[in-house]
C-alpha cells in the first residue's frame, strides 16, 4: 500500500507551497524536514492553501504526511476487545 501524497506534494512541492503561503522556501523546507507545520502557522496554511484551490483540512496541517498508523483508526473505548486489539 502506498502512502497518500503529503500536503507538500499536493501543493506542488516546497517552492510552490512557499509561494502560496508567502513564506521563504527554506522555511517550508524546514517544516517538511521536521515533518510538521508549526501550530502557529497552521490556521494561515489552511486559509491560503484553500484559497489556492487545493482541498485541505485541519488534519492535513496537523499530519502533513498523513495520520500515523498508531492512531490511524480510532476505536471507541467501549468497543469489543477484539476490535481494540486490531
Nearest to 14 by CA among 33, 29, 30: 29
The DSSP code sequence of 9-77 is HHTTSHHHHHHHHT--HHHHHHHHHHTS--GGGHHHHHHHHHHTT----HHHHHSTT---GGGSS---T
* 67 band by pLDDT with thresholds 50, 70 and 90: confident
Please state, in angstroms and rounded to a whole number, the distance separating the CA atoms of residues 85 and 59.
24
- Higher-confidence position of 66 and 45: 45
Q: What is the pLDDT of residue 7?
A: 96
Structural domains in the chain plus CATH codes: 7-68 (1.10.260.40)
- Percent of the chain residues topping a pLDDT of 90: 71
Amino acid at each position: 500500500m502506498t502512502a497518500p501524497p503529503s500536503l507538500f506534494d499536493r501543493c506542488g512541492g516546497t517552492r510552490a507551497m512557499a509561494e502560496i503561503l508567502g513564506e521563504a522556501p527554506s522555511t517550508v523546507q524546514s517544516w517538511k524536514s521536521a515533518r510538521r507545520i508549526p501550530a502557529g502557522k497552521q490556521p494561515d496554511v489552511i486559509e491560503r492553501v484553500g484559497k489556492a484551490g487545493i482541498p485541505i483540512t485541519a488534519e492535513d496541517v496537523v499530519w502533513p504526511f498523513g495520520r500515523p498508523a498508531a492512531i490511524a483508526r480510532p476505536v471507541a473505548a467501549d468497543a469489543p476487545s477484539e476490535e481494540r486489539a486490531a
